[in-house]
Chain A
């Protein structure tokens, strides 16, 4: 028995030593291939198929694979991508686009007008549950004229149609690989064929997306040998992975205190550029006491924008004085002009006097704890502190998780926190979405003057005229106060020192163009 045991021990020891030796001496080939960029993200990819993609994290994946007729290839200026240009009829209801010649999909198929018509018809037919098809609500039909001309027939005049063409509702897919009436599964990478700089080679839900180079790409080849996006549940784990050098870079989304900590880390670089994410407070203008414009004005006079940006976000966001973030054409600081750059207690007191309120007015403000990041709690404590300190208000804060919160909004809440990420980076998306009658947050705001401005803006024949209407809309919004904007987020990415090119993609589009990054 003892002998048997000794033999077993000896054999086990030798086997373990052999395995250890093999492991120690072998080299893992995969790690030494082309310079693949490994990026970290806390996002959740919902649908990669453009016909049902309507969230930023899925969009970040799609941006690498698909392209539209228009886009933002270099900065925040709209430019033709798969089209060479589009012209419109005098009534802005017919848009004719001429396609770029020689464009191929990643599987080698040529892109023609048939693919363009197929892609648009598909989005409208599928009506995916993520709601992206709503961006094409103005589209009546699509027709082709030869292999390289597409005509869009619209229901209403639409000056922003080229912007719609830049969204993923207008991304062009290969008609030979995408089914016409169903959404392609995220893991069906073999059929996920577009014209972008990368090809999706593997997607493991909530773990990673792996991209190879599109060998048929018509534009400038990516500066790296491929891309991996690794997904994390929490930013703290992602931060550790970055410090641990598992990641080359991480984009979206760190907490403000984590960014501050990483700025002190000498092996990492924190890149920051203009952003398009905004936060704002919404009022239900039909609900007491917010149905009194002077109560809303008093809150606007007291909004502690600088304190939120400095104390809560450590400077990673900037005070915002319009629903349109700075950096976009047509933006004007409407709230600064109307309520001043800094809080004014005297003006707030005057407004409350006009409202006929003498004692501190008890109000309830709702916010949501996780959907907009953990700093939301501090953000609303700061607002509460500022309003309570004025002795004009007695604020009660209430919160609900997003699944509950998003179903209630204006239907149940009088004042509530919201954030916005645009469908397309243009002032139109930051005004019409909030100020038109029957907006998505059900706050009861309806203004004939505003609706008229929206109609004029959508029918404007020149960009100059359109921006004039957009500025008027911002001023009217600040006067009527259905919402109060308070900060604009910066686009922040953190990388190892050796990573180059991130600065070239940080602009007001909030597009992470991975193909510009190398190491």
Chain B
């Protein structure tokens, strides 16, 4: 197996995406249909006569056989048509563009915080093993990892938003900024820089701090433990001993040899944690009223909006698959021993 080329590996990996996405689409489709109720009942039930509800269900094809609905659904997906949401007639493409951009902004900064905090604390804890610094770092890692993201978010809102009044508690920007900011990419941080609107940028950065820190810190818990373990293991390796024996300064041994190598497995985990980060983003977005794609997913789930939920989950799945392929590919490229 080790003789398989990188190209073959990549093709195999890509080919596996098709059944994976297919299974996921089928599961989502079935789960939504198995759950009682439909979007029309959710919107109109308890308000208009049952006869009208049935007429509208018929017009939208909700009374068609399940297999026919499933066939239509797959056919549309294959044509790249994710459709339009039922409850508010929004094209899925618009949701991906607008809300996806907000999620991208949040997850990017959260990942940045997770890496910086996770790696720094992990390095320090590993280097100063069994000292108070190590104990503190480990404790911080465990506590932060075990804290539910919405709880941490609520605490942050209360302390920094309400009690201290330093930071805004919700949204991607203040209502006025949001209303008057010219959107080019829908990533507000980029849009504000694009227009040279520094006041808006400052407002956006202030709004980013709490949600990105909340999501980032929870994710950092994993990185702290992993980095620490790898630093400890690397510091025991022979080549570190050899470097020291050659008289290389301790600082250089640490930064140029030990830390660099200790971080290789961490990079893999960073990629794999992307899926976890997206899951956390759903909760963080809900806590901070962050208008991301996870925030929309929750709304459409509540209203049984088949098209909305299916479309967003497909996007989530494709993003996670793309990132994991990228990580696998990078691993295979860096380490020739990795092949199917």
Q: State the A residues within 8 Å of B (CB).
A: 19, 22-24, 26-31, 36, 38, 44-47, 54-55, 129-131, 134, 183, 185-187, 202, 204-208, 210, 228, 230, 232-234, 237-238, 240-241, 243-244, 246-247, 370, 400-409, 411, 418-419, 438-442
Contact = CB atoms under 8 A, between A and B. Distances in A.
Contact of A228 (B48, B157, B158, B175): B175
Nearest to A187: B94
Query: For A27, A45, A228, which residue has the most chain B Cβ atoms within 10 angstroms?
Result: A228
A59 to B, nearest CB: 13
Contacts of B53: 131
Query: For A29, A237, A409, which residue has the most chain B Cβ atoms within 10 angstroms?
Result: A237
Contacts of A47: 88-89
A440 B87 contact: no
Contact of B200 (A28, A129, A187, A206): A28
Interface string B81-103: 00000111110001000100000
B49 A210 contact: no
B287 A237 contact: yes
Nearest to B305: A403
Contacts of B37: 401-407
A202 B35 CA distance: 36
22 contacts: A28-B176, A36-B176, A38-B176, A129-B40, A131-B48, A183-B89, A204-B98, A206-B291, A208-B179, A228-B176, A233-B289, A233-B295, A244-B162, A246-B168, A400-B36, A402-B37, A402-B42, A402-B45, A403-B38, A406-B42, A406-B45, A407-B41
The 6 tightest CB contacts between A and B, nearest first, are A406-B45, A28-B199, A403-B37, A30-B180, A407-B41, A403-B42
A404 B291 CA distance: 27
Contacts, number: 184
Nearest to B169: A240
Given A403-B37, A404-B35, A30 B176 contact: yes
B52 A131 contact: yes
Contacts of A404: 35-37
Contacts of B165: 244
Query: For A31, A45, A409, which residue has the most chain B Cβ atoms within 10 angstroms?
Result: A31
Contact of A30 (B40, B41, B177): B177
A165 B5 CA distance: 73
Query: For A26, A129, A238, A411, which residue has the most chain B Cβ atoms within 10 angstroms?
Result: A129
Interface of B: 35-53, 56, 59-60, 86-90, 94, 98, 157-158, 161-162, 165, 168-172, 174-180, 197-203, 286-289, 291, 295-296, 298-299, 302-304
A440 B43 contact: no
Contacts of A441: 46
Contacts of B60: 129
A246 B206 CA distance: 13
A185 B169 contact: no
Given A44-B87, A406-B44, 18 more contacts: A23-B201, A26-B202, A30-B177, A38-B175, A45-B88, A55-B43, A129-B40, A129-B43, A130-B43, A228-B175, A240-B158, A244-B165, A370-B302, A403-B42, A403-B303, A407-B36, A407-B45, A440-B50
A206 B297 CA distance: 12
Nearest to A211: B179
A325 to B, nearest CB: 17
Nearest to B304: A403
Contact of B48 (A36, A186, A233, A440): A440
B33 to A, nearest CB: 12
Given A28-B177, A30-B176, A404-B37, A237 B288 contact: yes
Contacts of A240: 157-158, 161-162, 169-170
